[in-house]
Amino acid sequence: MESITSPDKFKQWEKRLSGISLEENVEDKFKEIADDLFSHFYIKRGKSGVEYRFLEVEFYYNSPNHWDGKKDSNDLFVYERCNAETGEFFLHDSGVDICFKGTVLKPNNVEQWGDNDTKELKGGGILIRSLLRIEGKQKTIVAGPFDCADVLFNYTSIETMPLLCYRDEPFIEESDIQKNRIENTYRCHVAGKTDLEKAKYCFYDSAYVNVKDNKWIDAEDKEPLERYHPRYRKSYKNTYSQKPWNY
């Protein structure tokens, strides 16, 4: 069964994040959420009939017990945000996030913008880095966070706004491809910028990867995926520089 995602679908995400701290294995908690996201969630552009499934994401989360700050600074590495519900989209300078419920404010902005509900500031989101685009029988890859933001929000109308949806059955049965196919690595371009630069908070679906040929592929027929260009609305040969299995 498929449906537009309701807040109830995110209760398990919020439960996993509750009380999260650097003393425990945060990567395992993020991986559980990534497994759920990759297996059951997708984005559709309203009535367009185009579907987007997740291939690569990065987690950015800040709380009193999990400080994701800029290196050698008291400033945040996570973008400021005020999210009323988990599952909201948030556009920012690096792309687009699927957000967790909560408020993230820089220390010097708490007094001006905080309130009684923000005494314990915590929140963040999942940066979308790569998507599998499905239009009819054609499959292409949307590579990079800027292209992902563009493909979801450019050329939108009231009938083609992006909707985060849920499907009960997994997209790929693990026995059909491989078990434990969701792998994690370092976040892209964070080296030297955050105290958590060694945290493996980037997750990708290795069922769509051919490491030998260094390409994204279709998990079913194993053929290389062409890259979709969101501005020109066409695909072209699979050229993409950043690949999570090389981070």
What are the residue boundaries of the structural domains of the chain, listed by start? 2-246
Region 3-22 average pLDDT: 80
Per-residue confidence (pLDDT) for residue 20, from 0 to 100: 85
Q: What confidence tens digit (pLDDT) does each residue in 141-200 have?
A: 999 999 999 999 999 999 999 999 999 888 876 555 556 789 999 999 999 999 899 999
CB 28 within 8 A of CB 139: no
pLDDT over threshold 70, residue 117: no
Per-residue confidence (pLDDT) for residue 231, from 0 to 100: 94
Per-residue confidence (pLDDT) for residue 111, from 0 to 100: 67
Q: What confidence tens digit (pLDDT) does each residue in 34-83 have?
A: 999 999 999 999 888 899 999 999 999 998 889 898 988 888 899 999 99
Q: What confidence tens digit (pLDDT) does each residue in 198-220 have?
A: 999 999 999 999 999 999 999 99
Q: How far is CA 165 from CA 24, 42, 179, in A?
A: 31, 5, 24
Per-residue confidence (pLDDT) for residue 46, from 0 to 100: 85
pLDDT over threshold 90, residue 7: no
Comparing 122 with 202, which gets the higher pLDDT? Answer: 202
Per-residue confidence (pLDDT) for residue 11, from 0 to 100: 85
Could you write out the DSSP letters of every residue in 18-86? Answer: TT--TTS-HHHHHHHHHHHHHHHEEEEEGGG--EEEEEEEEEEEEBTTB--BBTTSSSBSSPPEEESST
pLDDT over threshold 60, residue 8: yes
Strand partners, 183: 204
What is the pTM (predicted TM-score) of this model? 0.93
